[in-house]
Chains A and B, each alone.
Chain A
Amino acid sequence: MAVNNELFKGTLQTIILNLLAENDRMYGYEITQKVKAVTQGQLILKEGALYPALHKLEAEGLLETSTEVVENRVRKYYALSKNGEKEVVNKLQEAKEFIAQLQLLLNLKPSL
């Protein structure tokens, strides 16, 4: 069953930051494919949502960018900045606390 994408919109920044913490640098398409692969196709990250989130994180100074010419085209890579490295820890903690509250609110038991 596919997960409702609306449910993960609020955690999109956390997902991006965490993916970049696990991978040195990534480009937009790579991020969408990674999300798809990790969730086995349950979550589809649309470009229309991904790029605004990436740009916002970049403008906030949490991401750094670099470009590289790959197969005669310019590819833009995103990586965590120093501030981003700190922020990912906070964001993950926030997400964990939120999930814990959700479990309480919805009477869900964490899967073992």
Chain B
Amino acid sequence: MELSSIEKEEIGAYIFTIGKYIETYNEVYDHVLNTLVELPGAYHLNLVQQIIEVDFGGTAAIRKQENIYQKQIKRRYLKLMGLEMLYTFKLRHILPNLILLLLCYVLYVNNTNLSVLFKTIYLAICVLIVLAGVFCIIYRYIIHRKTKKDSIKSELIFGLLFLPIGFINILFNVVITKENTSIAVNTQHIILLALFFVISIYIRAFMKLYTERITVLAI
């Protein structure tokens, strides 16, 4: 059957209400239109409902599958993120890590005023958090401003970005505080430098994963 643009809009509006993510919408919409074009007779919205019910197993099945898919993708990319971080310790990538480690050591050994060091790194991490937030805003509200539905890909990026931020928050509010007398100040500084080291690796791994895999990810 031939579908008019108004009919396509009606189909789109119906499918829009089914799933949570734009990826689900795109895949189901394309599939339904392909199926309808092959069918004989006149168009009716009931046909779309029938395709959803018979071929996809209903709207509940689509939502369930979308939920499973979102979790599968999240798990995969968290694993890839971990692997990217480990790759930085491979022989041909280890040089930046060694330089960073040396820097942390020099800062720790030579800096007489550790509170200045503490404040500087704290500030650097705060700047990082703000930059991550700005990136998310630009990504969602400028680059993808026309997307009216949530996206698995966006959620994945935001999740990967805010995962260390949550961790940093816990560290700063629970472990590295003046009120916490159970951990010596010196130990707190070591924790801070270690955090700086790990975050640097995380950022490099995220940038590599983002440019090489996430930007080409079509989910």
Contacts and interface: CB of A to CB of B under 8 A. Distances in A.
Interface of A: 27-29, 46-48, 51-52, 55-56, 58-61, 65-67, 70-71, 73-77
A76 B72 contact: no
A73 B65 contact: no
B30 A59 contact: no
A66 B65 contact: no
Nearest to B58: A48
B75 to A, nearest CB: 7
B69 A47 contact: no
Given A28-B31, A74-B26, A55 B68 contact: yes
Contacts of B30: 27-29, 70, 73-76
Contacts of B31: 28-29, 47
Q: Which 4 pairs across A and B sit closest by C-beta, in order of nearness?
A: A59-B72, A48-B57, A29-B34, A67-B218
A46 B55 contact: yes
Interface residues of B, number: 24
13 contacts: A29-B31, A29-B35, A48-B56, A48-B61, A51-B56, A51-B65, A55-B72, A58-B72, A59-B69, A59-B73, A67-B26, A70-B30, A76-B26
Nearest to B52: A47
Interface string B47-66: 00000000111000100010
B27 A28 contact: yes
B218 A76 contact: yes
Given A65-B217, A66-B218, A76-B218, A51 B27 contact: yes
Contacts of A67: 26, 218
B216 A66 contact: yes
A55 B65 contact: yes
Given A46-B55, A47-B55, A65-B218, A56 B72 contact: yes
A41 to B, nearest CB: 13
Contacts of A46: 55-57
B136 interface: no
Nearest to B80: A61
Contacts of A71: 33
A47 B56 contact: yes
Contacts of B73: 58-59
Contacts of A52: 65, 68-69
Given A52-B69, A65-B217, A74-B26, 5 more contacts: A28-B30, A47-B56, A52-B68, A67-B26, A73-B30
A27 B26 CA distance: 12
Contacts of B196: none
B76 A76 contact: no
Given A29-B30, A51-B65, A59 B35 contact: no
B219 A65 contact: yes
Contacts of A76: 23, 26-27, 30, 218
